[in-house]
Amino acid sequence: MTTKLAVLLVEPSPVLGARLEGLFGRKLVRVGSSVTAAGMLAAVRDHEPDVVLVRVDGPSSELTRAVELVMSEDPVPMLLLAAPGAPRQAAMALLSAGALEVLPLPSALDERAAASLEKTVALLATVAVVKHPRGRKKRTASRLPAIRPEVPVVAIAASLGGPKALAVVLSGLPRTFGAPICICQHITAGFTDDLARWLAAETGHQVAEAIDGARLEPGRVYVAPSDVHLAVTTSGTARLEQGPAVGGFLPSCDVLLKSAAIAFGPRAVGVVLTGMGRDGARGLKEIRARGGRTLAQDEATSVVWGMPKEAVALGAAQLVLPLPAIAAQLLEWVPSR
């Protein structure tokens, strides 16, 4: 299936490219990882790839600028291939710049690794990415009044494009924010701890992977770990649930949001940010049905308007807001300590 897709590979050596030619054939175009931002944009415009693969060996400010420029001018799905030993922070910076997904670079492109990469590329090729709104005028939206009693939990769902969106939302909230924030972010297994550390460094908040049984503290941020579901309980603690994937996801956004609805009803707030698919839409609907507050990110500021679109279609979102307005709305709903 993916042999029909055009793939632009950004990497320093011909070794990986030679391996991938067996998957993508003549549709594979290679450029060096030292390409400038303008050079990458030109390559995207010249070759019109369905997906861009970027090898990540370490931090690169020029590569980060290149990803930002492409995603703001001629967006195309980007997949990061993290080389062994590459700092995870380097991949997180590129995800923040607009790349959609990260996978560990296989040491050997055996049949299993090739099939996994082929499947991911085919999936990303179907994503209708939108331009990052750099310099775009912010849209205003009406806001709902603050509610009482104090909201005990905010549950946030995110997927493709989520790390950057999460950083924007958290950066707009004070450390005295009056509720714990629980996040389910779809990301490659093993990267959730790095995501938590990166969000902490970017936003100044206390962010960590959730621990089973831990009490959820106002103002702190809890990220669902890889390969387990995160739920919240009526006693205000985190619960990690082993079990099968829900809707193909482990952890599942729906599991988190539905647990918030069941545990706290009208005192819960749900947010669905950028992402592909529909995970989180039904959970958001459950929060709204039980009297909680709900919102979804708008299309103009979403990298992929999939999950928020499904939430809107279900009538799950009370408000549909541009990304820069979400933190302000949360502050109106949730008073600071």
CATH number, domain of 205, equals 3.40.50.180
**H/E element, 253:** helix 253-264
Q: What is the pLDDT at residue 113? A: 76
Q: Is the per-residue pLDDT at 166 higher than 50?
A: yes
Q: Are residues 222 and 296 in the same domain?
A: yes
Last residue of a domain, one of 124, 140, 162: 124
Which of these ranges, 115-124, 173-182, 186-195, has the smallest mean pLDDT? 115-124
* 194 part of a folded domain: yes
Domain that holds residue 18: 2-124
Q: What is the pLDDT of residue 135?
A: 36
Torsion of the alpha carbons at 170, 171, 175 and 177, rounded to the nearest 10: -50
Among residues 105, 124, 143, which one ends one of the domains? 124
pTM, two decimals, is 0.85
Residue that wins the pLDDT comparison between 183 and 13:
183
Q: Which of 124, 145, 180 is the last residue of a domain?
A: 124
| Domain shared by 105 and 19, yes or no | yes
Q: What is the rounded distance in angstroms from the CA atom of residue 69 to the CA atom of residue 119?
A: 27
> Which residue has better confidence, 315 or 133?
315
Q: Read off the pLDDT of residues 27-86 as tens digits, 9 standing for 90 and up.
A: 788 887 667 899 999 999 999 999 999 988 888 888 899 999 998 899 999 999 988 888
| Domain count within the chain | 2
Q: Are 222 and 209 in contact (CB under 8 A)?
A: yes
Residues 119, 170, single domain; the answer is no
Q: Of all residues in the chain, what percent carry a pLDDT higher than 90?
A: 60
pLDDT value at position 118?
Answer: 84
Q: Is residue 63 part of a domain?
A: yes
Letter string b/e over residues 113-135, b meaning 16 or more CB atoms within 10 A of that residue's CB = bbeebbebbebbbebebbbbbee
Provide the annotated active-site residues: 159, 186, 279
- Is the same domain home to 174 and 216? yes
Cβ 100 vs Cβ 161: under 8 Å: yes
Q: In this structure, is residue 89 part of a structural domain?
A: yes
Residue-wise pLDDT for 229-280, tens only, equals 999 999 999 999 998 999 999 999 999 999 999 999 999 999 999 999 999 9
**pLDDT at res. 211:** 97
* pLDDT tens-digit readout, 91-149: 998 988 889 889 888 777 677 777 888 888 888 888 877 765 543 333 334 444 433 33
Judgement on whether residues 112 and 231 belong to the same structural domain of the protein = no
> Same domain, yes or no, for 184 and 38?
no
Tokens of 121: 């590329």
